[in-house]
């Protein structure tokens, strides 16, 4: 409509008001074994930090937050959107069981990858929603779909395996708050770059580490200036402020592994501040990544992204 002159250009980037403070989007493809522990860790943290229970949130740089009620503190309320990406196992049933058992009297569930002692957390109705895609679209397609329906002032996506330390979400919030521009836009990128040389990386196969370095070289050579400076574009733990979403999500094309890079390049083209934040991470068994096949796919996707970018496919006006 903006292109046709039916509405002013500035109205093209308007977004509806947030209904909760934090939205978590979880793409899931055949994750029946790993997602319960991840959800337990996420729910525990979200309810502790952003639940309507009258305590101040620690996940903010603002030290004078109100805590006297549901309406008094805008930093309250959370939701989880699980997007089952054409799963053929019992992922949807497992998540639905998780929701049912956590509404009234939580039942014990498997611990997450970080193996933190925890007591099951009671959740409010509607806090967890499930989207079931009939066909597998790829991680990028699942994330994009979920973010289109997010209601949060902040929207974060995280992998269903729980490899990223979810309690580091607070670091992403603080980082984005410090980086916001005058429109309230910012992207906080969870990064594992600080872990290079640690056991988590060293214990990987030589082939995987070699392909990882080759991919980083491709990022440096083929992406735009600021995106090329990000040391870890592929960590599945990224946070977006709500005002940033209209500049990124409607322009997404990639549905495979390369979607992270596309998101960052779109943010850069809109001059949205980006900050890289170190987060905890550990290897979790059961990955769907085929090192050779998916590395080739990512290389091809990166090349196509660069060609389309140069050809003006992503032009906003």
Q: What confidence tens digit (pLDDT) does each residue in 235-259 have?
A: 999 999 999 999 999 999 999 889 9
Average pLDDT of the chain, as a whole number: 85
Q: What is the pLDDT of residue 70?
A: 41
So what's the pLDDT on residue 68?
35
Check if the beta carbon of residue 160 is closer than 8 Å to that of residue 38. Answer: yes
Cα radius of gyration rounded to whole Å, the chain: 19
Question: Six-digit token pair at 182?
Answer: 């005058």
Contacts of 97 (CB under 8 A, 6+ apart): none
**Stretch 251-275: mean pLDDT, rounded?**
94
For 184-224, what is each residue's pLDDT tens digit? Answer: 999 999 998 887 756 555 455 676 667 777 888 888 888 89
**228 pLDDT above the threshold of 60:** yes
State residue 200's pLDDT score. Answer: 55
Using CA atoms, how far apart are residues 248 and 272, in angstroms rounded to an integer? 10
CA angle 178, 184, 188 (to 5 degrees): 50
Question: Across-strand partners of 3?
Answer: none
Question: Which residue carries 């497992």 as its tokens?
Answer: 94
Close Cβ partners of 4 (under 8 Å, ≥ 6 residues apart): none
DSSP letters along 297-314, please?
Answer: HHHHHHHHHHHHHHHTTT
Q: How sure is the predictor about 58, in pLDDT bands with cuts at 50, 70 and 90? A: low
From 39-53, 71-85, 143-157, the region with the lowest mean pLDDT:
71-85
pLDDT-based confidence at residue 315 (cuts at 50, 70, 90): confident
Position 282 pLDDT exceeds 90: no
Beta bridge partners of 25: 81, 157
Spatial distance between the Cα atoms of 281 and 161, rounded to a whole number of angstroms = 11
Beta-ladder partners of 78: 22
Residue length of the chain: 317
Q: Is the pLDDT of residue 307 over 50?
A: yes
- Residue-level pLDDT at 194: 82
Closest CA to 272 of 184, 189, 191, 190: 184
**For the sheet containing 78-85, what is the strand order?**
128-133, 78-85, 20-28, 152-158, 237-241, 187-191, 274-278
Distance between first and last Cα of the chain: 11
pLDDT reported for residue 152: 96
pLDDT at 65: 38
- Name the DSSP letter for residue 149: T
Give the contacts of 70 (CB within 8 A, at least 6 positions apart): 52, 76, 77
| Listed range (28-32, 71-75, 102-106) with the worst mean pLDDT | 71-75
The predicted structure's pLDDT at residue 120: 66
Cα gap 277→174, rounded to integer Å: 10
Model pLDDT, residue 26: 98
Residue 104 has pLDDT above 80, yes or no: no
Average pLDDT over residues 10-27: 91
Q: What CA–CA distance (Å, rounded) separates 43 from 78? A: 9
Residue 35 has pLDDT above 50, yes or no: yes
Residue 154 burial class via C-beta count within 10 angstroms: exposed 0-12, middle 13-18, buried 19 and up: buried
pLDDT band at 38 (very low <50, low <70, confident <90, very high): very high
Q: What is the pTM of this model?
A: 0.85
């Amino acid at each position: 409509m903006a292109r046709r002159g039916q509405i002013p250009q500035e109205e093209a980037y308007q977004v509806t008001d947030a209904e909760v403070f934090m939205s978590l989007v979880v793409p899931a493809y055949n994750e029946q074994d790993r997602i319960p522990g991840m959800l337990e860790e996420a729910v525990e943290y979200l309810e502790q930090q952003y639940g309507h229970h009258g305590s101040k949130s620690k996940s903010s740089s603002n030290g004078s937050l109100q805590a006297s009620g549901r309406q008094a503190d805008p930093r309250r309320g959370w939701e989880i959107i699980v997007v089952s990406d054409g799963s053929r196992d019992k992922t949807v049933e497992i998540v639905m069981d998780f929701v049912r058992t956590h509404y009234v009297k939580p039942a014990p569930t498997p611990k997450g990858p970080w193996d933190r002692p925890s007591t099951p957390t009671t959740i409010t109705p509607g806090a967890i929603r499930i989207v079931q895609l009939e066909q597998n679209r790829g991680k990028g397609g699942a994330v994009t779909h979920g973010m289109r329906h997010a209601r949060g002032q902040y929207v974060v996506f995280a992998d269903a395996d729980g490899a990223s330390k979810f309690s580091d979400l607070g670091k992403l919030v603080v980082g984005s708050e410090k980086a916001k521009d005058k429109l309230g836009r910012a992207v906080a990128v969870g990064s594992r770059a600080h872990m290079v040389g640690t056991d988590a990386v060293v214990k990987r196969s030589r082939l995987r580490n070699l392909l990882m370095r080759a991919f980083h070289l491709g990022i440096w050579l083929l992406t735009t200036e600021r995106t090329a400076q990000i040391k870890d574009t592929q960590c599945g733990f990224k946070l977006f402020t709500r005002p940033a979403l209209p500049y990124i999500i409607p322009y997404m094309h990639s549905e495979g592994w390369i979607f992270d890079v596309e998101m960052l390049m779109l943010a850069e083209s809109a001059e949205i501040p980006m900050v890289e934040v170190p987060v905890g991470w550990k290897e979790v068994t059961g990955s769907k990544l085929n090192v050779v096949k998916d590395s080739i796919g990512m290389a091809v996707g990166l090349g196509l992204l660069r060609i389309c970018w140069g050809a003006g496919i992503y032009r906003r006006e």
